[in-house]
Structure 1
Amino acid sequence: MEFIFPDVGEGISEGKLVRWLVKEGDAIKADQEVAEVETDKAVVEIPAPVAGIVGKLIHQEGDIVEVGKTLMTIEQEVVSKPAAPAAAASPETSTGPPAQQAQSVPTQTSSSSSAASSSAPPAQVPVVASRHSDDILAVPRVRILARKQGIDLGAVQGTGVFGNIRLADLQGQAGSPALNAAGQPVAAASPAVAHVAVAPGERPLSGAPSSAQPLAASHPEVLASPSTRRLARELKVDIGMVKGTGEHGMVTKTDIRDAAKGGIASAVQPTVQATASADMSARSISAPVRSPSSADLYIPMSATRAAIARKMTESSHAAALVTHMDEADVTDLVALREKEKERLAQQGIKLTYLPFFVKAVVVALQQHPYFNAMLDEPNQRIVLHKQYHVGIAVDTEEGLIVPVVRNADRLSILEVAAAIQDLSGRARTHKLRLDEMQGSTFSISSIGSVGGTHFTPLTNYPEVSILGIGSIRDRPAVRDGAVVVRKMVPLSLTYDHRVLDGAQAARFMNTIVELMQDPGLLLMELT
């Protein structure tokens, strides 16, 4: 059997094969890890779906493998069972080796038996109920061909691993021509139903004839991931009416959210002329500002950098972001840390300023709960989180990674310090699990160790706020009428103006400043 590279996490479309954990000929158990794959979020171990013998390792270490592609083959022991006398096949009608016959779904017989059974009632042909699109396993190439040929993938019985629909499975379906070994149609077929001609990658319009599907339809011909389809259902968006902006016209989550915000009409191209205009506009925006030069250096974006780009674009487009700035006098905090850091270092704990900020943020979130929230825009409501999961932005060689300190309200400052030390260390060595980078309700981004003052951090959407921390520096300050040198830290709070207003941001920041300027008060708040 073919082991298809599975979807290892939301939004993951491909991964880099870091290391094989098995070799050809090895006996493996079900759920045994067979490979390490690096995604744009972490290095994950891929388990085998079944027990068997490793057949062929399709890819080399270092290869980029797309989700839905064959990762390796697994040979399983097939226990032969005597066929029932009535179902026994004659030598003339038997085709292919026994193993192949056992895996195939018979859809047609030889010409001699076909003639004898041409008058057989349709009930003798297995009928496959149309499934929900989330249950359909098919790679983009299969979905594209099915869409072109007007085939409902929900009614196709897949013969691949886990029921994956292959190109060969499309043969014999309505509107589908015969395919050659390369999966290309060898003869044109008459369409099964009349349909409205649309431009490549377009969806039928709302005024289309009966070939257009109703709002509740799952639209298996549309290229979209299961999580995107689930989001469309949650936001009550007809995914069949959304123009996909992804590769090969794939519908993305951003497309769904845009459709939910402005109505389906905003995401549908009403005419070919409008489509061309939109495409020209998109090209003009993304076009290089200057012609390429032989002196230019072109560097492909890493998976991590591409994920950061998508996430930051989503945040800046989906929310109305404003940044409130202030500073805090942390002279007493610096003295406290200097006093304790050597003692804690002997216990293996690296005490930085970040754990103090995490605890101050938790107290501020408890006092100002709308900062620990998300906006459920389709239902016009604000969701206030009861958990305090703080994301910590970590600078790595590949880009920014945001592991999550979960239930930070239940941890002491030293426990937060230990958690940050562990998570940041594993983030830099690609050892984080996917679940350790998901589910944050508020985030902190610190550039203090690098240098800088105020900046405008972008929220980790759908969070509504993020705290940016600059470098602690000696600055002149007025105390009791005298100018003195104090340890000052610049703070930047970015928030979603759709949920929060400026006065709320000022109050939240005042709480942070008050706690950071008086470590004793912070410790009292935690008791």
Structure 2
Amino acid sequence: MIEVKLHDIGEGMTEADITHFFVKVGDRVKADEPIVEVQTDKMVAEIPAPKSGVVKEIVVGTGETISVGTTVMIIEDESTVVTQPSNQQPENKSKSKRIMASPYTRKIARENGINIEQIQGSGPGGRITDEDVYSQIRSNSSPIIVEELVTESKTVVPIKPYSTDIPFKGRRKQIGKKMQQSLITIPHCTHFEEIDVTELMNIREHLKEEEIKISANAFFLKAISLTLKEFPIFNAVLDEENEVIRLLDEHHLGIATDTEDGLIVPVVRNVEKKNLKQLHTEMKDLTKKALENKLSIQEVSGGTFTISNVGPLGGSIGATPIINYPEVALLSFHKTKKMPVVNKKDEIVVRSMMNVSMSFDHRVVDGATAVKFTNHFAKLIENPTFMLLELV
């Protein structure tokens, strides 16, 4: 008998939620065939069968949260399975073929009541894509007829009182645990700054005129990387057990991204080695994957510093962001608005001002160092040409 256990599918992972089984007791499975889908705090993943055989027992249920090492399923090795005559053992029609589709595509189908096995895939090798599922949903849709209750000359729409329970599981639960761990472990301290982004916005407009689009986040990432070279203490990990602060050479910057299933942080790797155009393209690709829940574990792991740009959402002028443990700091960008500002000539001018919030681990860094960090970052953003001097 083979025990299929939840293994560590990503760094720091300790548990996951069971979201879906692709097989049932009695099904024959082939080696490496997906048999169960799980949700961690960072991604949806499929666990494959380690060997070919027959499913003898499913130990846990859908919706359960289990720890790494927990037995999920028991499979009888194919080499020990006794093949019965066809008249005694009917062929399992449900396992006649393997369905090729990503976990996110399967999720779309399940949530919309679509039998994914009945869809003809349009992708390479017959792989079923998101659009294949959406097309099936559209073809299954029918007009909704609403019956109205009419009393005398007044239309009455009956409303029944009800309460709604929102499940606290899956990514939402995992996010909660990660945030709690961070707050309990790290003594947070947050300071705020106001940065003039007028020149940065002007440069972006000039680039657009040349049909070159570079996002503000790309400039932010590059400025942070240059600032981390000056203040490497913020690109570090505190190893309490060995009583040492480990400074990291590579800048792997996480981008907090709001998705339908909750917050996720894709990581742009080696920002110190990439130019603005490369950063813009990579961030665009990662953000798209995050919104479609298609990020790999490598794309959400190993971050050394995180940014959160909530400015485009509007309304936010400040926050006390929670650090992405075990990192040392997080920089959050807020609403940008035009304001009257007194310049060096004592003239009142209109400038575009952006608020930032920086949370840092007070065990590792003092407040004065954090202020110097944001001052240096602000210098680069307010005078983008200074970036050229540091890039030489």
Provide TM-score, normalisation by structure 2.
0.70
| Residue number in structure 2 paired with 1:497 | 362
The question of 1:356 aligning with 2:356 is answered: no
Per-residue CA deviations over 1:141-190 (Å, capped at 9, x if unaligned) read: xxxxxxxxxxxxxxxxxxxxxxxxxxxxxxxxxxxxxxxxxxxxxxxxxx
Distance 2:229 2:253 in 1: 13
Counterparts of 1:45 and 1:63, CA distance in 2: 15
> Are 2:264 and 1:401 aligned?
yes
Identity of aligned residues (%): 36
How far apart in 2 are the matches of 1:367 and 1:510?
Answer: 12
Structure 1 counterpart of 2:275, one-letter code: S
Measured in 1, the distance between the counterparts of 2:226 and 2:373 equals 10
Match of 1:41 in 2: 42
**For the residues of structure 2 that align with 1:372 and 1:48, how far apart are their CA atoms?**
39
Q: 1:11 to 1:336 in 2, by over 3 A?
A: same
Structure number, greater radius of gyration: 1
Q: TM-score, normalised by structure 1?
A: 0.53
Aligned pairs for 1:438-457 (under 5 A) are 438-451=301-314, 452-457=316-321
CA deviation string 1:79-118 (max 9, x = no partner): 99xxxxxxxxxxxxxxxxxxxxxxxxxxxxxxxxxxxxxx
Per the alignment, residue 167 of structure 2 pairs with: 300
**Aligned Cα root-mean-square deviation (Å):** 3.0
1:20 to 2, 22, 27: 22
CA distance 1:55–1:388, shift in 2 (3 Å): same
The equivalent position to 1:392 in structure 2, one of 230, 252, 255, is: 255
Q: Answer whether contact 2:6 2:72 (CA < 8 A) is retained.
A: no
Q: State which of 441, 457, 464 in structure 1 corresponds to 2:328.
A: 464
Tell whether the 8 Å contact from 1:18 to 1:38 is kept in structure 2 after alignment: no
Distance 1:459 1:344, change over 3 A: farther
Which residue identity lines up with residue 413 of structure 1 in the other structure?
L
Cα offsets for 1:271-324 (capped at 9, x unmatched)? xxxxxxxxxxxxxxxxxxxxxxx9864322132121222122222221221112
The equivalences for 1:357-376 within 5 A come to 357-376=220-239
Q: CA deviation at 1:381?
A: 2.0
The 3 A distance-change label for structure 1 pair 377 and 55 is closer
Q: Which has the higher strand share?
A: 2
What letter corresponds to residue 360 of structure 1 in structure 2? A
1 CA distance for matches of 2:289 and 2:297?
12
CA deviation after TM superposition for structure 1 residue 483, in Å: 1.0
CA contact (8 A) 2:194 2:353 kept: yes
Q: Please give the secondary structure, in 1, of the residue aligned with 2:79.
A: coil
Decide whether aligned partners of structure 1 residues 72 and 335 sit closer, same or farther in structure 2, where only a CA change above 3 A counts.
farther
Q: Does residue 1:513 correspond to 2:371, yes or no?
A: no
Q: 1:386 to 1:77 in 2, by over 3 A?
A: same
- Say which SS state the counterpart of residue 486 (structure 1) adopts: strand
Q: Which of 1 and 2 has higher RCO (CA within 8 Å, sep 6+)?
A: 2
Name stretches of at least 5 consecutive residues in structure 1 with no aligned partner: 81-293
Q: Secondary structure at the match of 1:440?
A: coil
Kept after mapping to 1: 8 A contact 2:5/2:72: yes
Shift of residue 461 of structure 1? 1.5
Partner of 1:419: 282
Distance 1:412 1:74, change over 3 A: farther
**Cα gap change, 1:27 to 1:344, in 2 (>3 Å):** farther
Pairwise CA distance, 1:456? 1.2
Identify if the C-alpha distance between structure 1 residues 505 and 315 changes in structure 2 by more than 3 Å, giving closer, same or farther. same
Count of residues in Structure 1 that have an aligned counterpart in Structure 2: 308
Q: Does 1:488 align with 2:350?
A: no
* CA-CA distance at 1:78 after TM superposition: 3.6
CA distance in 2, matches of 1:376, 1:495: 16
Q: Please state how far the C-alpha of 1:380 moved relative to its aligned partner.
A: 2.5
Residues in 2 aligned to 1:455 and 1:64: alpha-carbon distance in whole angstroms: 34
Residues 329 and 488, structure 1, Cα contact 8 Å, conserved in 2: yes
CA gap of 1:303–1:335, structure 2 versus 1, over 3 A, is: same
1:418 & 1:72 partners in 2: Cα distance?
44
1:355–1:416 CA contact under 8 A, matched in 2: yes
Query: CA 1:359/1:57 → structure 2, altered by over 3 Å: closer, same or farther?
Result: farther
For the structure 1 residues 375 and 40, does the alpha-carbon distance in structure 2 shift closer, same or farther, using more than 3 Å as the test?
closer
Q: SS at the partner of 1:424?
A: helix
Q: Is the contact between residue 54 and residue 78 of structure 2 (CA under 8 Å) also seen in structure 1?
A: no
The one-letter amino acid paired with 2:382 is Q
| Alignment-derived partner of residue 185 in structure 2 | 318
> Taking structure 1 as reference, are residues 22 and 435 closer, same or farther at Cα in structure 2, changes over 3 Å only?
farther
Kindly state the Cα deviation for residue 325 of structure 1 after the two structures are TM-superposed.
Answer: 1.2
